[in-house]
């Protein structure tokens, strides 16, 4: 945490009507005349938190956070019956563009980790003319091999004890099959209590495997768990609404955009293979490997590298 800038409060916030009955929460902090940066949160379904403002120099950046559809302070929330059918990658990219126009931003830096790296890459490949730089962490390309590794048993070899809690909501007869599909049936099924138990197990699996060294169980809530697990699972059942390997196939459109990739060597959630594959396809992007870190953005080495990257890109008038 020492690498981060001091806590700050937003100077403006609101809800933007993006259509489909959705209102996306947004906030801005830092310098209103500073360099615009958009923080793209993980999950999907994770929402934003105040600590995420602290990756940026508030004297030099106009810091923009937003909660993606169905989670955080966006409306309606999954727990309140948000419509999953209008929640997909293309809609989120369109929401980002609507937010950019709403805030009067011409171009902005894209900063995202985990699913935020997925969505950040997808947005930048759709609207490269709107992106000044990319700072990406814990790379997730949403390939089938990545889903299978983490949700269908690969990571169980490293966390067999935690894996048992992940398996617990799944009937024994279904535990040798596609667990993402099994979770989907429960999370979207008719039994709210079963869905909540499954959401807590899914979210707990990620919380307890995201750090190199064990951490106290993260504070959570049933409302957060339900949004995080339900939206994340919805995206993964649908392969992120991306073609297999799409983000690597289309990488050439980003070769001219300055970028830093930060990756924990012992990241179990999003293993380093994906960051390496991205860097090999995009050698112009700087790859920073943090040898004593896992997945979490607030691990010391990860936070240091992310702040170093945003400090590096803070100069220049790219508004």
pLDDT for the residue 146: 98
Check if 114 is active-site.
yes
The HSE-up count of residue 92 (CA atoms within 13 Å, CB side) is 32
Of the CA atoms within 13 Å of residue 313, those in its CB half-sphere come to: 28
Start-to-end CA distance of the chain, whole Å, equals 29
CA 16 – CA 182 distance, rounded (Å): 34
Max intra-chain CA distance, the chain? 59
- Spot the catalytic one: 267, 274, 279, 297: 267
Q: Is 267 a catalytic residue?
A: yes
CB 278 within 8 A of CB 134: no
- Nearest CA to 27 out of 60, 5, 49, 1 is that of 49
Global pTM? 0.97
- Within the chain, all domains assigned CATH 3.40.50.1820 are found at 12-145+241-313
pLDDT at residue 316, as a whole number? 65
CB 39 within 8 A of CB 55: yes
Nearest CA among 239, 240, 168 for reference residue 205? 168
- Taking the chain (319 residues) in runs of 10, the rounded mean pLDDT of each run is 88 98 98 98 97 98 98 97 97 98 98 98 98 98 98 97 97 96 98 97 97 84 96 98 98 97 98 98 98 96 97 74
Q: Is 253 helix (H, G, I), strand (E, B) or coil?
A: helix
Q: Which candidate in 114, 117, 210, 297 is catalytic?
A: 114
pLDDT for 215: 84
pLDDT in the model for residue 318: 43
Assign a CATH topology to domain 12-145+241-313.
Answer: Rossmann fold (3.40.50)
Q: Is 95 a catalytic residue?
A: no
Q: According to the model, what pLDDT value does residue 39 have?
A: 99
């Amino acid at each position: 945490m020492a690498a981060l800038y001091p806590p700050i409060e937003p100077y403006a916030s609101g809800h933007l009507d993006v259509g489909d009955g959705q209102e996306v929460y947004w906030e801005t902090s830092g310098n209103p005349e500073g360099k615009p940066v958009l923080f793209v949160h993980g999950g999907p379904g994770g929402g934003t938190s105040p600590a995420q403002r602290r990756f940026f120099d508030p004297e030099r950046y106009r810091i923009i956070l937003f909660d993606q559809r169905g989670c955080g302070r966006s409306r309606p929330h999954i727990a309140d019956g948000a419509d999953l059918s209008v929640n997909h990658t293309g809609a989120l990219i369109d929401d980002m563009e609507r937010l950019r126009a709403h805030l009067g931003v011409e171009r902005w830096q894209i900063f995202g980790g985990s699913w935020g790296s997925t969505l950040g890459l997808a947005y930048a490949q759709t609207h490269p003319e709107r992106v000044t730089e990319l700072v990406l962490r814990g790379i997730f390309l949403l390939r089938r091999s990545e889903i299978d590794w983490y949700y269908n048993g690969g990571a169980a070899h490293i966390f067999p004890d935690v894996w048992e809690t992940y398996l617990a909501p799944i009937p024994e007869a279904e535990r040798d099959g596609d667990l993402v599909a099994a979770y989907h049936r429960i999370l979207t099924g008719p039994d709210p209590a079963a869905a909540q138990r499954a959401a807590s197990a899914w979210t707990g699996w990620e919380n307890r495997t995201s750090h190199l060294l064990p951490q106290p169980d993260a504070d959570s809530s049933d409302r957060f768990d339900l949004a995080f697990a339900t939206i994340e699972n919805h995206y993964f059942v649908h392969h992120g609404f991306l073609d297999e390997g799409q983000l690597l196939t289309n990488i050439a459109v980003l070769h001219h955009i300055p970028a830093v990739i930060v990756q924990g060597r012992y990241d179990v959630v999003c293993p380093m293979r994906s960051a390496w594959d991205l860097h090999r396809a995009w050698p112009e992007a700087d790859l920073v490997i943090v040898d004593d870190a896992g997945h979490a953005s607030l691990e010391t080495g990860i936070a240091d590298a992310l702040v170093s990257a945003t400090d590096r890109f803070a100069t220049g008038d790219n508004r």
